[in-house]
Amino acid sequence: MHIFEEIKKSTITAVWFVFLTFPIMVIRVNTIHKTIEWRWDNMIMVAVGSFALSFVWRYFMEHRQAPKPEAMGRGVPWIQNARQAIKHPVFFYSAIALLTVFAVIFPFIFSRYQVNIMTTALIYVMLGLGLNIVVGLAGLLDLGYVAFYAVGAYSYALLHLHYGLNFWICLPLGAGLAALFGIILGFPVLRLRGDYLAIVTLGFGEIIRLVLENWNEFSKGPSGIAEIPRPPIPGVELSLSESSVFLYFLVIILTLFTVFVVNRLRNSRIGRAWIALREDEIACQAMGVNKTATKLTAFALGATWAGMAGVIFAAKTTFINPASFTFLESAIILSIVVLGGMGSIVGVIASALILILLPEYLRAFSEYRMLLFGAVLVIMMVFRPQGLVSTVRQTYQFKGLKKDKEVG
């Protein structure tokens, strides 16, 4: 019988997982008081959970089809229809108008706490879009992206501390310094293949963090830098809540700027060179694309946004220390890009908002946040490597004799 077969498989899976998770999930030893705590309820949870999940897993495994090159980005028919509907001007402009109204009145109807959360989420949108250039468009897996974020944050904090430079000067300076670091890192690793590149960037990110942690004279070490001023408006005295509203609007403007630039970049000559390089490096070189320059611009431009986001982060929290720039932060930004769909702008914005806002509002879940991020990375790779919103490939179609250009 088919049903019995399935139940048998799931039972075996459940038994295996109970065995697997037994020491870690069930037993907890207290080595100081020499007591053992047995948590049998966890075992029941694992058994029932894995029994149920194995059905889901097998169902999706059977219905998983390998993404075919020509079907890439076209996807399921209803998504295609939805895309067409969204493209329709009436719908498109009314959606934009609604979003604008919502974004403008948001800080006036919600509390300062909500505004701060939204600002954080928007900073992650910027980071996600920046990493999207490097990972999504150019196909260079950067696991040390947080290093550039740290460079931005620390350049504002230190320039303010030592030279008294204000936010508006530091914003472009931080972005520029991060871009410089992007080039410094990018230059030696150009020759490396994808997976080696990932590890080197990871090492680079860790080096930056460790140096910030240990070089006390330079960065004040693990205790960090406090009393970083919020962005000022010349001649206007801002209260605490006013300045957080101001920061919110500033981040909105910068996010829009990011979206604009990334969108323009993607369809530019350099953007197409990135995508081509991602797809096939050798063919790309044969077509005369300058590999070095293309990769370096990807690194530098990706880092620029991280630097900018870093300056804003420092201004928002008014306190930074190296603990804010661990590998986990890079992993969160990477999850945003992967979940959203590599190369897709709308997807990255949506996934940044989902991944950052959901744990804030579902407090019960926030403990499991990183666990879920890890699971999201695996599940997305197995079942939907193109992300929530897959990018539509630019395609050219011949219709009879008339050449028709379709831009997605």
Partner 1 sequence: MTSSFFAEKEIYNGLLLSRTIILQELINFLMDYFLELLLGGLTKGSIYALIALGYTMVYGIIELINFAHGEIYMIGAFTALIAASILNMLGLGQITILILASILAIIYSSAYGFTMEKIAYKPLRHSPRLSPLISAIGMSIFFQNYVLLAQTSDFLPFPSLLPEFEFLQPYRHIIRSPEIFILFTTVVVMVLLTVLIKFTKVGKAMRATAQDRKMAMLVGVDVNKIISMTFVIGSSTAAIGGVLIASFIGQINFYIGFIAGIKAFTAAVLGGIGSIPGAVVGSLILGCTESFATGYVLSDYEDVFAFGLLVLILIFRPAGILGKSSSEKV
Task: Pick the closer one to partner 1 by CB: 54 or 155.
Answer: 54
| Residues binding partner 1 (CB under 8 A) | 16, 19-21, 23-25, 27-29, 31-32, 34, 36, 42, 61, 64, 66, 139, 141, 143, 188-189, 191-196, 198-200, 202-204, 206-207, 210-211, 214, 282, 327-328, 331, 334-335, 338, 367-368, 370-371, 373-378, 381-382, 385
149, burial (CB in 10 Å: exposed 0-12, middle 13-18, buried 19+): buried
Query: At its nearest, how many Å lie between partner 1 and the CB of residue 202?
Result: 7
Rounded-to-integer distance, Cα 229 and Cα 227, Å:
6
Task: Pick the closer one to partner 1 by CB: 118 or 142.
Answer: 142
Query: At its nearest, how many Å lie between partner 1 and the CB of residue 282?
Result: 5
Task: Pick the closer one to partner 1 by CB: 121 or 333.
Answer: 333
Query: At its nearest, how many Å lie between partner 1 and the CB of residue 356?
Result: 16
Task: Pick the closer one to partner 1 by CB: 37 or 404.
Answer: 37
Rounded-to-integer distance, Cα 273 and Cα 261, Å:
16
- Nearest CA to 345 among 292, 392, 397? 392
Task: Pick the closer one to partner 1 by CB: 255 or 330.
Answer: 330
Query: At its nearest, how many Å lie between partner 1 and the CB of residue 103?
Result: 32
Task: Pick the closer one to partner 1 by CB: 215 or 260.
Answer: 215
Rounded-to-integer distance, Cα 228 and Cα 324, Å:
15
Query: At its nearest, how many Å lie between partner 1 and the CB of residue 80?
Result: 24
Query: At its nearest, how many Å lie between partner 1 and the CB of residue 56?
Result: 13
Query: At its nearest, how many Å lie between partner 1 and the CB of residue 357?
Result: 20
Q: How far is CA 146 from CA 112, 182, 371, in A?
A: 27, 11, 20
Rounded-to-integer distance, Cα 307 and Cα 345, Å:
19
Task: Pick the closer one to partner 1 by CB: 31 or 397.
Answer: 31
Query: At its nearest, how many Å lie between partner 1 and the CB of residue 126?
Result: 21
Task: Pick the closer one to partner 1 by CB: 142 or 315.
Answer: 142
Whose structure tokens read 């959970």?
A: 49
Rounded-to-integer distance, Cα 352 and Cα 359, Å:
12
Rounded-to-integer distance, Cα 349 and Cα 196, Å:
28
Query: At its nearest, how many Å lie between partner 1 and the CB of residue 342?
Result: 9
Task: Pick the closer one to partner 1 by CB: 95 or 371.
Answer: 371
Rounded-to-integer distance, Cα 70 and Cα 376, Å:
26
